[in-house]
Amino acid sequence: MINTNFNVNSAIVSGQLGLQRASDGITQASLSIAQRTAQSTLEQQGPGAVLQQAAIRGLENTSRILPQAPDSLTSDLVSLQVNSINAQASAKVLEVANNTVGRIIDTLA
């Protein structure tokens, strides 16, 4: 007899872990893109007025909080896409596991 309980639980845990990792990757890539965009705008426009100086101080405070992104914008965009695909795949795993549990319950009932 096959232990379906273990297999279904394993699939659910795997799907949830995949979604969490994809979410973490999406968050990191998005933060990195936002940081690069803000830095690029600052470099192009430069400080010029009191309001711009206030914005610069806000960005400096934010950059101290955010992790530094050593990779390029291209790698961040690729990471965003890869993690989006991983999230979709993990969601599909959860959907299949859920359908399998439903079928097992229907069969046993």
Q: What is the DSSP annotation of 13-80?
A: HHHHHHHHHHHHHHHHHHHHHHHHHHHHHHHHH---SHHHHHHHHHHHHHHHHSPP--S-HHHHHHHH
Number of domains in the chain: 1
Answer whether residue 79 shows pLDDT above 50.
yes
Contact 67, 31 (CB under 8 A): yes
**pLDDT tens track for 13-64:** 888 899 899 999 999 998 888 778 766 666 666 544 435 655 676 778 777 7
**pLDDT tens track for 89-108:** 888 888 888 888 777 777 77
pLDDT score at 64: 77
Q: Name the residue range of residue 29's domain.
A: 4-108
pTM passes above 0.85: no
| Mean pLDDT of the chain, nearest integer | 76
Question: Could you tell me which residue, 69 or 66, shows the higher pLDDT?
Answer: 66
pLDDT score at 8: 65
